[in-house]
């Protein structure tokens, strides 16, 4: 890794191969950021010229041979991607697009912690002024709106969410089962769609949560057609805050599709809070604090059927990374 330099604007990186007709090494300028320790490599592609293939993403995300991250985020003009161009037709303000890849190189529709870190990155590049108003951005799960709170947290309208199993699943409290390595049997679970897929399992105690072996992916049945993120949660109860608002608390660990266990997952926190709220029944709070190994985020079920995710976003360092022709 070096500390200066930038990718040639006419270089295209696909599967780690630079396809501009030369064999010379190229370097990719990046910024490293995280939201409650869900960490990302961020790439400024405001010219829309980079094509980050799976091998290049894996090289960047590699914790030993690369920079290390749970995911890679490319900031690109919405106009440069088919999914972005479709969004621009109804939301012309969504000028910038979050092109999100999991650490294994797979494409994901959405990343809640990533959206907040994307907003901080756009601010650092002078592409957004969250002191003056909201940032509207494109994602594969649709348009997202980010505002900044007085304490510096970023609050994201995460759009509409659903229980894919419908009313029957909500009434039964389950529509799937999950087997974690070491368990004697599978446990009931509830599927939640936040634009990306989630499966939430309730546990009884903190000790059970702490003892989980998430070094291998939990086995989910029925097998989700596009895979799933799995959230293991312990409801911690409800209370009334200093403003008289009823709030709930949840502890969560997560196994992310395309990554493994991570220290936080924003869409996963939303799924966890919405599942626990449904299990609690009518009168349950709309506001939930979700405690993850990397910190705490706030999830609010909004009256319009959307859900809001709020939490911190940090940019920690920047540099350049060599992507050598054919070597990654
Ligand atoms: N960590 C993200 C979710 C990233 C995508 C996920 N692994 C998937 O494949 O759906 C978040 O904060 O939401």
- Domain annotation for the chain: domains and CATH numbers: 13-153+314-323 (3.10.310.10), 160-307 (3.10.310.10)
pTM beyond 0.80, yes or no? yes
On whether the CB atoms of residues 128 and 98 are closer than 8 A, the answer is no
Per-residue pLDDT in tens (0 to 9) along the chain, 328 residues:
333 333 344 456 666 665 555 555 578 999 999 999 999 999 999 999 998 899 999 999 999 999 999 999 999 999 999 999 999 999 999 999 999 999 999 999 999 999 999 999 999 999 999 999 999 999 999 999 999 999 999 999 999 999 999 999 999 999 999 999 999 999 999 999 999 999 999 999 999 999 999 999 999 999 999 999 999 999 999 999 999 999 999 999 999 999 999 999 999 999 999 999 999 999 999 999 999 999 999 999 999 999 999 999 999 999 999 876 543 3
- Distance set, CA 247 to CA 1, 299, 300 (Å): 45, 10, 9
Clarify whether 270 is annotated catalytic: no
Measured from CB, residues less than 6 Å from any atom of ligand 1 are 38, 71, 102, 108, 111-114, 196, 229, 256-259, 265-268
Instruction: Check: CB of residue 76 under 8 Å from CB of residue 83.
Output: no
Q: Which of 109, 150, 114, 94 is nearest to 32 (CA)?
A: 114
Expressed in angstroms and rounded, the spacing between residue 228 Cα and the centre of ligand 1 is 10
Do the Cβ atoms of 128 and 154 come closer than 8 Å?
no
Nearest ligand 1 atom to the CA of 256 is 7
Q: Is 233 helix (H, G, I), strand (E, B) or coil?
A: strand
Nearest alpha carbon, ligand 1 atom 2: 111
Ligand 1 nearest atom to the CA of residue 115, by list position: 12
By C-alpha distance, which of 21, 34, 29, 307 is closest to 155? 307
ipTM: 0.99
267 labelled ligand-binding: yes
Cα separation, 120 vs 314, in Å, equals: 7
| 111 Cα to the center of ligand 1, angstroms | 4
User: Quick check: 216 and 181 in contact, CB under 8 A?
Assistant: yes
What separation in Å is there between the alpha carbon of 268 and the centre of ligand 1?
7
| Contact yes or no for 45/12 (Cβ under 8 A) | no
């Amino acid at each position: 890794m070096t500390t200066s330099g930038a990718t040639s604007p006419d270089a295209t990186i696909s599967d780690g191969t630079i396809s501009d007709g030369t064999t010379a090494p190229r370097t990719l300028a990046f910024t490293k950021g995280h939201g409650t320790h869900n960490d990302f490599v961020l790439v400024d592609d405001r010219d829309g010229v980079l094509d980050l293939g799976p091998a290049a993403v894996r090289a960047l995300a590699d914790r030993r041979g690369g920079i290390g991250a749970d995911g890679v985020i490319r900031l690109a003009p919405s106009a440069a991607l088919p999914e972005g161009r479709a969004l621009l037709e109804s939301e012309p303000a969504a000028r910038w697009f979050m092109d999100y890849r999991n650490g294994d190189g797979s494409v994901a529709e959405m990343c809640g912690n990533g959206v907040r870190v994307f907003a901080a990155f756009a601010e650092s590049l002078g592409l957004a002024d969250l002191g003056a108003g909201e940032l509207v951005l494109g994602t594969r799960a649709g348009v997202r709106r980010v505002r900044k709170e007085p304490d510096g947290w970023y609050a994201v309208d995460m759009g509409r969410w659903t229980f894919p199993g419908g009313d029957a699943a909500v009434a039964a409290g389950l529509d799937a089962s999950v087997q974690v390595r070491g368990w004697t049997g599978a446990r009931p679970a509830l599927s939640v769609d936040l634009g990306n897929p989630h499966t939430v399992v309730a546990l009884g105690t903190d000790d059970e949560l702490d003892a989980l072996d998430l070094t291998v992916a939990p086995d989910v049945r029925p097998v989700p057609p596009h895979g799933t993120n799995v959230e293991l949660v312990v409801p911690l109860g409800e209370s009334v805050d200093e403003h008289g608002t009823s709030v709930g608390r949840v502890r969560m660990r997560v196994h992310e599709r395309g990554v493994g266990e991570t220290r936080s997952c924003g869409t996963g926190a939303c799924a966890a809070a919405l599942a626990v709220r449904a299990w609690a029944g009518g009168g349950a709070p709309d506001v939930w604090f979700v405690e993850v190994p990397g910190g705490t985020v706030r999830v609010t079920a909004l009256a319009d059927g959307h859900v809001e995710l709020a939490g911190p976003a940090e940019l920690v360092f920047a540099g350049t990374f060599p992507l050598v022709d054919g070597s990654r």
